[in-house]
Amino acid sequence: MRRVRYEHTGGPLLLEDVPVPTAAPGELLVRTEAIGVTLPVVRKVTEAAGPIALGGEIAGEVVAVGEGVTRFRAGDRVTGLCFGHGYADYAPLLEAMATPIPESASAVDAVALVRSGLVALGVLEAARPAPGESALVTAAAGGVGHLAVQLARLRGASRVVGAVSAPGKAEFVRGLGADEVITYDSADWGTPVDYALDAVGGDLLTPAVAALAPGGRLVAYSSGGGSVQAYDLLVGAKSVIGFQMARIARGEPELYERWRQELWRLFTDRALKPAVHGEFALEDAAKAHEAIESRSNFGKVVLRP
């Protein structure tokens, strides 16, 4: 089978032929039909000390199951987060991380919706939104952000502000339901909001915290780092909350499953519409990474084996 790898920090990404893996105990072996590309994986390639397995969101057909697997069998269509080599024709998937794909959804729908949607729903829950409150979503055109904009509206936000890297993304974000769209370099971020969902971090944390109304909450889920001055929180009685999806997946499986079911319900009801920026062949993984790294994507970036 084909698999994408790299030999040193920064790449390049290479396509290699390797044997098809076997399903270990508790694992499914999935013939991949769609693979989601995420910013954290792109950053690991460019920043990690050494080469890592390119994992991430996968969707496809189960071809074999390992010892102890009870919920799935060969022929089932599933999606989930792969911690091993996911940029491949066949990939291992822990049974605990797998969810069935409804008949009404494609593999591309699944990787555009489930993992990114779980993060979007999780950060929204962490913000503890009340009906009628206003929201700010950074990276609003991205794989998670474009779903967060829609979910904030569905959860009763009276006003949704999308923050993006370039003016050319404004029309797309407004089409998702945002009332206002600003760019990161805007001098004025408008009327303060009750909560902010931040996927960017770094230098953007300061203006994002400044955009909060007194008592406002910022949920940080970026891999971009950054710091906040305690005084900036003190004077406005503001708070910053960190969110990590892995903690929910490993520590609160019932909540994780409930969120997954809610996402599929919203998708089936056509209330939540995942967008796909582009589909790239496995051998074009570098181009897919470039779309993410340059922040030029509108929605999810997907690899198709």
> 28 near 95, Cβ under 8 Å?
yes
Could you tell me the mean pLDDT of each successive run of 10 residues in the chain, 305 residues long?
A: 94 95 97 94 88 94 97 96 95 92 95 95 97 97 97 97 97 97 95 97 94 98 86 94 88 90 95 96 96 91 96
Please say whether the dihedral angle defined by the alpha carbons of residues 34, 40, 46 and 50, taken in this order, is positive or negative: negative
**The overall pTM is greater than 0.85:** yes
Rounded to whole angstroms, the Cα distance separating 164 from 145 reads 10
Amino acid at 207: P
Q: How many residues does the chain have?
A: 305
Q: Quick one: pLDDT at residue 237?
A: 96
Question: What is the predicted pLDDT for the residue at 226?
Answer: 86
pLDDT tens for 28-45 read 999 999 999 998 899 889
What's the confidence (pLDDT) of residue 48?
Answer: 85
Across the chain, mean pLDDT equals: 94
pLDDT, residue 265, reads: 95
Nearest Cα neighbor of 160 from 186, 188, 129, 181 is 181
